[in-house]
Structure 1
Amino acid sequence: MTILVTGGAGYIGSHTCVALLDAGYDIVVVDSFSNSFPKSLERAKQITGKEFPVHRTDLLNDTALYEVFRGNKIDAVIHFAGLKAVGESVSDPLRYYENNIVGTLNLLANMQNFGVKQMVFSSSATVYGMQNSMPVKEDTPLFPTSPYGRTKMMLEMIISDMVTANPDWGVASLRYFNPIGAHRSGRIGENPNGIPNNLLPFISQVAVGRRPYLTVNGDDYPTPDGTCIRDYIHVMDLAEGHVHALRYLETAKGIETVNLGTGRGYSVLEVLHAFEKASGVNIPYQIGPRRPGDIPISYADVSKAHTLLGWSAKRDLAEMCMDTWRWQANNPHGYDK
């Protein structure tokens, strides 16, 4: 069975490529490398000992995408490709709407033309927006607060309409919470462009001396230590969730939306101290102001993932931090050197 992986060179995409190859799937990767690195795929090949074709193209290039489908016998799609920085989406919304929505429309049209009827869609917990009731369930009303989150919500609606019009399609829309960690080999991991937007890459860059300290955004939230609590999930658990979703779609039709998280939350300071323990490095930090839009607590109800997909997260916070540190220590400048 051959899986087309769009955005396969990205953080989650590259780890999922490894999980797919380890599970016995063949893959074809499409990536524009606008915010990812070809080296991640070279290392995925080294980790698994398996080769696979890589097409450097943007999903907005419908002609090139058509040629990918025409030149490969594709059985299913895992769709990661898209712009993903929340702050950037606020300052440049049109770019996000064009890239994420038009690119996906091109992908869906090619799937329909070539008779590909199975998709795992990379959605996000950002579709939930500001919620006061925890844990967050899949039937929670959606209130995304950024253009990025709204593109994910809109795409879920578009894909649902496609499934309604094509009842022989099967789609799993996976809403991720906060992926961290790296492959245990230390060969692939999270490698953000510029200043990291996420907590663990920032902490690990402080640990290797690339940044002087971590700024903790607010310590006056109604949580045990005053810092925000989030549901952090190991990226390899997340990657394996996609394998479970593909297996589910072998017999299922229609569309299902599923949270992928651990079902529990950790505060910013808990993560920081867990990383210090894993790495043996003291992480200097200072308290800064709250970030607009940050809610105190967010974590997932993951019961549907367990019952529907037969999947649950296996790796704890200590392993997430150890694997992050192994990646960063082995690659202090990421894929650049």
Structure 2
Amino acid sequence: MILVTGGLGFIGSHTARALLDLGEDCVVVQRSTRQLPAFLEDARMTVEPADINDREALLAIGRRHDITGIVHLAGSHPWPPVPDAPVEATRQALGGLLNIAQAAQEWGVRRLGVASTIGVYLGAAGEGPLREDAPLSMHAPVSIPTFKKIGEMLGDFLADTTGIDIVNYRISGTWGPLGHPDPFFAAPALVHAAAHGTAPDLSHLVRPAFAEDGIDLTYVKDTGRAIALLQLADKLNHRTYNVGSGRATTNAELIEAISKAVPGAQVDLPTGGEAPHLVLDINRLTRDTGYRPEYDTERAAADYIAWLRAGNKR
């Protein structure tokens, strides 16, 4: 039985669905009460309301269930930033991660997977797809990659000292059902606008969006399946895996796919774009799990638009 923290959230719910589809029972841990997504309503899983920062409540879950593995997707970083209480926010972020590691040790789980991000590569030198062995910059422009780098280093230390199989997932830009507007890429906002017949609101982006901007963009159903395959693999040869599509998707490509699903959608962006195309090398993931993305841009856009038009808010 696999425990998924943040298991009713964006990536967590799709990971739980993928684990279930692969024949594994799940316990999902969610701090806040929320309705089950439609694709989990008939699932054979247990929902445990708990905050990972409440160590005793977390450890008690292991006394009620036979947990054999953990997928840790709940936030382990202060986001949005907490400028009025940075020390306490840091304590909460790292405390939750350490509580999960303690639970893994006490329960004797086979593998603990921890979410990281493509953002750890910001500032990395070199051209072409980003490999897991690329040297990383010590600096990060925002809190998410900062705390993910810290989490990866702590994971390596704990794996060495406890013997737990701790695996880092460096997750690319992910979009799809249950997602939020993302500050770093325009895909969710463009799809929402097309589905609802409105102009896209891009005010949340950290920089203006252009047609030729691109990033390794992965549909969330593929992201969830990749994480599930990493969790259930008999043997993994590495501690860190890129989870992505292995290619750059530009906004122009996405707009073309949206226009096929919704002819006449007003989602055009200005030409140009200077943002670097961050692309993950996913050869490790493919070799060790057999993973291949199932959703190209056109299929993903159509699926997401259908989900939103069915009455789902996100």
Settle same-fold status: TM greater than 0.5.
Answer: yes
Residue 130 of structure 2 contacts residue 281 of structure 2 at CA under 8 Å; is this kept in 1?
yes
The answer to whether 1:135 aligns with 2:129 is: yes
CA distance in 2, matches of 1:82, 1:44: 22
Q: 2:261 aligns with which of 247, 256, 278?
A: 278
Q: Residue 55 of structure 1 aligns to which amino acid in structure 2?
A: E
Q: Which moved more, 1:68-77 or 1:309-318?
A: 309-318
DSSP 3-state at the match of 1:232: strand
Q: Residue 31 of structure 1 aligns to which amino acid in structure 2?
A: Q
Deviations 1:23-82, CA, capped at 9 Å, x for gaps: 11010010113xxx722x352333xx3332111121111121121122111000011000
DSSP 3-state at the match of 1:237: helix
For residue 148 of structure 2, what is the aligned residue in structure 1? 152
Q: Residue 190 of structure 1 aligns to which amino acid in structure 2?
A: L
- Relative to structure 1, the CA distance from residue 322 to residue 42 in structure 2 (aligned partners, 3 Å threshold; closer, same or farther) is closer
Q: 1:68 aligns with which of 36, 45, 61?
A: 61
DSSP 3-state at the match of 2:136: coil
Deviation at 1:219, TM superposition (A): 6.6
Q: Residue 43 of structure 1 aligns to which amino acid in structure 2?
A: A
Q: Residue 252 of structure 2 aligns to which amino acid in structure 1?
A: L
Q: 2:306 aligns with which of 310, 326, 329?
A: 326
CA distance in 2, matches of 1:219, 1:61: 40
Residue 90 of structure 1 contacts residue 147 of structure 1 at CA under 8 Å; is this kept in 2?
no
For residue 171 of structure 1, what is the aligned residue in structure 2? 166
- Relative to structure 1, the CA distance from residue 165 to residue 126 in structure 2 (aligned partners, 3 Å threshold; closer, same or farther) is same
The answer to whether 1:205 aligns with 2:192 is: yes
CA distance in 1, matches of 2:133, 2:249: 23
Deviation at 1:203, TM superposition (A): 1.2
- Relative to structure 1, the CA distance from residue 29 to residue 266 in structure 2 (aligned partners, 3 Å threshold; closer, same or farther) is same
Q: 2:232 aligns with which of 225, 244, 247?
A: 247
Q: Number of aligned residue pairs: give it.
A: 306
User: Share of identical aligned residues, percent?
Assistant: 24
For residue 118 of structure 1, what is the aligned residue in structure 2? 111
CA distance in 2, matches of 1:84, 1:133: 29
Deviations 1:209-252, CA, capped at 9 Å, x for gaps: 485334484478xxxx5x3210111211111112221232x345
DSSP 3-state at the match of 1:140: coil
CA distance in 2, matches of 1:208, 1:234: 17
DSSP 3-state at the match of 1:179: strand
Deviation at 1:155, TM superposition (A): 0.7
- Relative to structure 1, the CA distance from residue 137 to residue 90 in structure 2 (aligned partners, 3 Å threshold; closer, same or farther) is farther
CA distance in 2, matches of 1:101, 1:285: 41
Return the TM-score normalized by structure 2: 0.87
The answer to whether 1:101 aligns with 2:94 is: yes
Deviation at 1:260, TM superposition (A): 1.4
Q: Residue 217 of structure 2 aligns to which amino acid in structure 1?
A: Y
DSSP 3-state at the match of 1:134: coil
CA distance in 2, matches of 1:269, 1:124: 24
Q: 1:55 aligns with which of 48, 54, 57?
A: 48
Task: Provide structure 1 residue ranges, at least 5 long, that are not aligned to the other structure.
Answer: 182-188
Deviation at 1:263, TM superposition (A): 1.5
Residue 130 of structure 1 contacts residue 145 of structure 1 at CA under 8 Å; is this kept in 2?
no
Q: Residue 53 of structure 1 aligns to which amino acid in structure 2?
A: T
Deviations 1:79-126, CA, capped at 9 Å, x for gaps: 10006786x238575565334321010111122122224112211111
For residue 287 of structure 2, what is the aligned residue in structure 1? 307
DSSP 3-state at the match of 2:304: helix
- Relative to structure 1, the CA distance from residue 97 to residue 15 in structure 2 (aligned partners, 3 Å threshold; closer, same or farther) is same
DSSP 3-state at the match of 1:77: strand
Residue 208 of structure 1 contacts residue 328 of structure 1 at CA under 8 Å; is this kept in 2?
yes
For residue 24 of structure 1, what is the aligned residue in structure 2? 23
CA distance in 2, matches of 1:115, 1:122: 20
The answer to whether 1:236 aligns with 2:230 is: no
CA distance in 1, matches of 2:235, 2:243: 21
- Relative to structure 1, the CA distance from residue 96 to residue 306 in structure 2 (aligned partners, 3 Å threshold; closer, same or farther) is farther
- Relative to structure 1, the CA distance from residue 27 to residue 202 in structure 2 (aligned partners, 3 Å threshold; closer, same or farther) is same
Task: Provide structure 2 residue ranges, at least 5 long, that are not aligned to the other structure.
Answer: none
DSSP 3-state at the match of 1:314: coil
Residue 186 of structure 2 contacts residue 209 of structure 2 at CA under 8 Å; is this kept in 1?
no
- Indicate the RMSD between aligned Cα atoms, in angstroms: 2.8
